[in-house]
């Protein structure tokens, strides 16, 4: 028999989802069978699996040790899988007992696309496994917003079920201000607000602006130009795959380094003349709305991710460094 007490980290999720994480290799049919036969109980009573867990709830698994071992993932050695090359190691911008704000480097996946991949999700889980002492048997920490592999900047992660749920709700309901920096082709003098629709092309891993599809909205304002390139701050109103890249390319201002949306000639020029092999796009600012409850301590606060070295070097080379807004900002500061 195995007894589990639900922690604050695990609270808020359904019992069946909790069990699937505790016994990750067990078929769902097996878990529901054990619930029906009262071989798995919640607070000493029969459970259906749909119950929402609360802190202090007791889950009992009346199963043999062989069965528990058969359906449990093997424990990882401390630190295993969390040794990272310096250039691929994420940085912590802010953390408390509910969330992490991480600066993801360009080149790192947000989530795995193949089993052998390394991603920010695995780094977060490894980091919190050490920081939280392995607490939360039925909870796997996760990220709430994803960035493309070669896009750098702020990613939010929850370190409890409730935090993940509330963070995801803030992103989904567009209450968080998400701002990006990107140098683009050409001169932009006026602010703009773009609306359109995206259609995905799975074969090319690419999206296109069309008259029908997923609705998107993108706002931008120029910070400075040198006659060839303009540094833009872009507000992502909606959050769809490749939205900023496709939307700006559609109005004739593809991102520096973005041959996928800027075209073959533009990609070749960026690679050969500018030394840019991928799009220069950085999620630099995340603004929290007025919050109560779980995130009341973050109400109205703004967080920043400093520009990566290759980005800053490009701006300096093109005499756009005077447009960099980061130097005037501090993390966690409330707007005056």
Q: Output the domain CATH number for residue 208.
A: 3.30.2350.10
Domain assignment present for residue 78? The answer is no
Geometric angle at alpha carbon 151, from 270 and 120, rounded to 5°? 145
Q: What is the mean pLDDT of residues 156-162?
A: 88
Mean pLDDT score of the chain: 88
Residue 326 φ/ψ, nearest 5 degrees: -55, -40
If asked whether residues 222 and 211 sit together in one domain, one would say yes
Q: Which residue has the tokens 């749909």?
A: 50
> Which range has the worst mean pLDDT, 16-25, 146-155, 182-191, 221-230?
16-25
Domain assignment present for residue 303? The answer is yes
Alpha helices, DSSP H, located in the chain: 15-22, 28-36, 65-71, 120-131, 161-172, 243-250, 259-262, 264-274, 309-317
Overall pTM > 0.85: no
Query: What is the number of structural domains in the chain?
Result: 3
If asked whether residues 95 and 6 sit together in one domain, one would say no
If asked whether residues 293 and 147 sit together in one domain, one would say no
* Beta carbons within 10 angstroms of residue 281's beta carbon: 28
Above 60 in pLDDT, residue 83? Answer: no
Q: What is the pLDDT of residue 317?
A: 95
Q: What is the pLDDT of residue 125?
A: 83
Domain that holds residue 162: 83-173
Spatial contact of 122 and 112, defined as CB atoms under 8 Å apart: yes
Could you say which of 51, 71, 91 is where a domain stops?
71
If asked whether residues 166 and 182 sit together in one domain, one would say no
If asked whether residues 199 and 326 sit together in one domain, one would say yes
If asked whether residues 142 and 275 sit together in one domain, one would say no
If asked whether residues 217 and 247 sit together in one domain, one would say yes
Q: What is the pLDDT of residue 138?
A: 58
If asked whether residues 182 and 162 sit together in one domain, one would say no
Spatial contact of 278 and 256, defined as CB atoms under 8 Å apart: no
56 vs 233: which has the higher pLDDT: 233
Which is nearest to 59 in space by CA: 84, 24, 34, 95? 34
Q: Which residue has the tokens 């630190």?
A: 79
Question: pLDDT tens-digit profile of 178-220?
Answer: 999 999 999 999 999 999 999 987 777 889 898 888 999 999 9
Could you say which of 46, 71, 96 is where a domain stops?
71
Domain assignment present for residue 76? The answer is no
Q: What is the pLDDT of residue 227?
A: 96
Burial profile 70-98: b = 16 or more Cβ within 10 angstroms, e = fewer: ebeeeeeeeeeebeeeeeeebeebbeeeb
- Beta partners for residue 99, in sequence order: 158
Above 50 in pLDDT, residue 80? Answer: no
Could you say which of 21, 37, 71 is where a domain stops?
71
If asked whether residues 196 and 313 sit together in one domain, one would say yes
307 vs 77: which has the higher pLDDT: 307
If asked whether residues 120 and 67 sit together in one domain, one would say no
Measure the CA–CA gap between 242 and 264, rounded to whole angstroms.
17
If asked whether residues 317 and 190 sit together in one domain, one would say yes
């Amino acid at each position: 028999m195995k007894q589990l007490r639900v922690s604050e980290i695990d609270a808020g999720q359904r019992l069946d989802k909790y069990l699937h994480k505790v016994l990750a290799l067990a078929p769902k049919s097996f878990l529901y069978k054990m619930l029906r036969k009262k071989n798995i109980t919640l607070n000493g009573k029969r459970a259906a699996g749909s119950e929402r867990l609360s802190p202090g709830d007791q889950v009992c698994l009346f199963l043999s040790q062989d069965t528990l071992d058969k359906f449990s993932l093997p424990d990882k050695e401390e630190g295993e899988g969390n040794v990272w090359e310096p250039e691929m190691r994420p940085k912590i911008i802010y953390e408390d007992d509910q969330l992490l704000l991480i600066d993801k480097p360009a080149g790192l996946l947000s989530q795995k696309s193949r089993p052998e991949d390394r991603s920010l999700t695995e780094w977060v889980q490894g980091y919190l496994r050490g920081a939280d002492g392995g607490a939360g048997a039925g909870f796997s920490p996760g990220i709430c917003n994803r960035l493309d592999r070669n896009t750098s900047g702020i990613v939010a992660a929850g370190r409890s079920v409730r935090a993940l749920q509330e963070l995801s709700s803030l992103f989904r309901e567009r209450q968080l201000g998400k701002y990006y920096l990107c140098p683009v082709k050409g001169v932009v003098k006026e602010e703009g607000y773009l609306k359109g629709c995206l259609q995905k092309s799975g074969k090319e891993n690419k999206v296109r602006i069309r008259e029908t599809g997923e609705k998107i909205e993108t706002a931008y304002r120029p910070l400075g130009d040198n006659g060839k390139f303009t540094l833009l701050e872009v507000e992502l109103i909606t959050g769809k795959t490749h939205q900023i890249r496709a939307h700006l390319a559609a109005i004739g201002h593809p991102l520096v380094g973005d041959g996928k949306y800027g075209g073959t000639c533009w990609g070749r020029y960026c690679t050969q003349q500018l030394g840019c092999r991928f799009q220069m796009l950085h999620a630099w600012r995340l603004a929290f709305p007025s919050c109560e409850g779980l995130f009341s301590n973050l109400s109205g606060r703004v967080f920043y991710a400093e520009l990566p070295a290759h980005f800053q070097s490009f701006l300096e080379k093109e005499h756009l460094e005077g447009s960099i807004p980061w130097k005037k900002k501090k993390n966690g500061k409330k707007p005056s």
